């Protein structure tokens, strides 16, 4: 792609086609749910209450069958079942790593597949959710980036990944018995760090996260949701205003020259433009710190000079720097930095006053680590040569 060519989103969401016109409830905002209920015969006066009741069954208690919604009349339940369905993506397979990480292969409409990863820790559990099948961007170190974008996920398919994981973890509270929040939740955090660029699927990601945050449902705090972007600058302020979640940024380089190669969207919005948007984020979203993700690539971006430049660049932004040792994948054109160099880089950052955790690779034995996700169905892999050429390494 020539460097001045705009990087655009050219694929729209193809809504799930359901047999004989059934509408899927999952993924509709409250306003939209109200609308479709009224369209299908629910009296306007009752609509708000019906939305509340159905919402609670679906998102608080994980019910998938209208027949179980016992606070609705039998005839109303039958009416609903005629017109609506409660559907989430289908789990095709589940792999469990030696360290407890779970990788799910999930099938969505059209036979496409995405990967979803659950990472258990002692005090929390994080679900890494996908927002697109493939990705339009072509970051040269990312496995997903070698897969063409097939389509955006719908809001239902995004929040449906959370619901599927709660099914698998058996974490829905019993109807009428509290909220299930007695101890730490198994699924307590969500990161939009799976396949795809979430800010190129903004509306669906926003609706899905709004549903996940809703207090009468899955009820995840906005502080426990982190959206990771490669730097779609115009959407960053919108993320603050319309979602309000935590932000992580795939920074990965300290000069435009290197970042152009690693994260090609940098050719459209360079480091300076990105930093300006990030400076405004905490105030707009009322959130504390931005996470700077930095993948450690041997002899590419990992020198002590890089560390010092990084510290200078982000001065004034409340930040946490997450160092990610590069996860190799078959044919990847880079190597993981040496451990001693990762430590040395972390040290510079730490001395400058930033938290600089080194992300421990999880689930490597099942290719579940960052940037390794890629669905088997779309495995039209580029050759190593092609990848190297595009990364400017050839």
Could you list the residues that contact ligand SAH (CB under 6 A)?
A: 141-143, 193, 197, 228-230, 250, 293, 295, 324, 326-327, 370-371
Q: How far is the CB of 74 from ligand SAH (least distance, A)?
A: 45
371 by Cβ neighbours in 10 Å (0-12 / 13-18 / 19+) ranks as buried
Question: What does the binding site for ligand SF4 look like in residue numbers (CB under 6 A)?
Answer: 135, 137-139, 142, 144-145, 196-197, 230, 250
Q: How far is the CB of 113 from ligand SAH (least distance, A)?
A: 17
- Among residues 200, 369, 374, which one has the least CA distance to residue 295? 369
Report d(CA 370, CA 381) in Å as an integer.
18
Q: How far is the CB of 197 from ligand SAH (least distance, A)?
A: 4
Nearer to ligand SF4, 69 or 117 (CB): 117
87, 115, 157, 197: the active-site residue: 115
Interacting partner of 327 out of ligand SF4, ligand SAH, none (Cβ under 5 to 8 A depending on kind): ligand SAH
Q: How far is the CB of 209 from ligand SAH (least distance, A)?
A: 14
Nearer to ligand SAH, 120 or 331 (CB): 331
Of all residues in the shown chain, the one whose CB is closest to ligand SF4 is: 145
- Among residues 110, 86, 84, 104, which one has the least CA distance to residue 13? 110
Interacting partner of 337 out of ligand SAH, ligand SF4, none (Cβ under 5 to 8 A depending on kind): none
Q: 3-class SS at 197?
A: coil
Of all residues in the shown chain, the one whose CB is closest to ligand SAH is: 371
Interacting partner of 89 out of ligand SAH, ligand SF4, none (Cβ under 5 to 8 A depending on kind): none
142 in catalytic set: no
Q: Taking phi first (over 0 means left), then psi (-120 to 50 degrees means alpha), and beta for anything else, what does residue 121 get?
A: beta
Nearer to ligand SAH, 57 or 329 (CB): 329
Nearer to ligand SF4, 108 or 133 (CB): 133
Instruction: Tell me how far the alpha carbon of residue 379 is from its chain's centroid.
Output: 21
Interacting partner of 159 out of ligand SAH, ligand SF4, none (Cβ under 5 to 8 A depending on kind): none
Q: What is the CA radius of gyration of the chain?
A: 22
Do residues 182 and 43 make contact, with C-beta atoms less than 8 angstroms apart? no
Provide CB contacts within 8 A for 363, sequence distance 6+.
97, 99, 101, 102, 103, 117, 119, 369
Interacting partner of 281 out of ligand SAH, ligand SF4, none (Cβ under 5 to 8 A depending on kind): none
272 in catalytic set: no
DSSP assigned state of 358: B
Q: How far is the CB of 127 from ligand SF4 (least distance, A)?
A: 17
127 by Cβ neighbours in 10 Å (0-12 / 13-18 / 19+) ranks as buried
Residues with catalytic function: 115, 370
């Amino acid at each position: 792609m020539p460097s001045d060519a705009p990087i655009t989103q050219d694929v729209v969401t193809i809504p799930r086609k359901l047999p004989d016109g059934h509408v899927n409830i999952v993924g509709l905002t409250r306003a939209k749910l109200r609308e479709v209920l009224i369209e299908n015969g629910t009296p306007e006066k009752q609509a708000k209450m019906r939305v509340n009741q159905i919402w609670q069954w679906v998102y608080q208690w994980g019910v998938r069958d209208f027949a179980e919604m016992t606070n609705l009349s039998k005839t109303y339940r039958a009416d609903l079942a005629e017109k609506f369905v409660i559907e989430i993506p289908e789990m095709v397979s589940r792999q469990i790593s030696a360290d407890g990480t779970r990788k799910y292969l999930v099938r969505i409409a059209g036979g496409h597949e995405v990967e979803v990863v659950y990472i258990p820790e002692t005090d929390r559990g994080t679900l890494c959710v996908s927002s697109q099948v493939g990705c339009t961007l072509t970051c040269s170190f990312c496995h997903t980036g070698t897969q063409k974008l097939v389509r955006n996920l719908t809001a239902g398919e995004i929040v449906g990944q959370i619901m599927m994981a709660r099914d698998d973890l058996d974490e829905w509270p019993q109807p009428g018995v509290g909220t299930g929040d007695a101890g730490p939740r198994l699924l307590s955090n969500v990161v939009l760090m799976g396949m795809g660029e979430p800010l190129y699927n903004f509306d669906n990601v926003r609706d899905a996260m709004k549903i996940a945050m809703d207090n009468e449902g899955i009820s995840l705090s906005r502080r426990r949701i982190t959206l990771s972007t490669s730097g779609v600058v115009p959407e960053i302020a919108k993320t603050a205003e319309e979602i309000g979640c935590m932000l992580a940024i795939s920074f990965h380089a300290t000069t435009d020259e290197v970042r152009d190669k690693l994260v090609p969207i940098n050719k459209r919005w360079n480091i300076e433009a990105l930093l300006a948007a990030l400076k405004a984020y905490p105030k707009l979203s009322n959130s504390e710190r931005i996470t700077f993700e930095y993948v450690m690539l041997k002899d590419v971006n990992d020198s002590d000079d890089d560390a010092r430049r990084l510290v200078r660049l982000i001065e004034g932004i409340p930040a946490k720097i997450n160092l990610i040792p590069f996860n190799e994948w078959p044919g990847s054109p880079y190597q993981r930095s040496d451990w001693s160099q990762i430590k040395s880089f972390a040290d510079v950052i730490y001395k400058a006053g930033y938290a600089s955790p080194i992300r421990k690779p999880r689930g490597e034995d099942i290719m579940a680590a960052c940037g390794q996700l890629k669905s088997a169905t779309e495995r039209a892999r580029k050759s190593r040569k092609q990848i190297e050429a595009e990364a400017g390494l050839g």
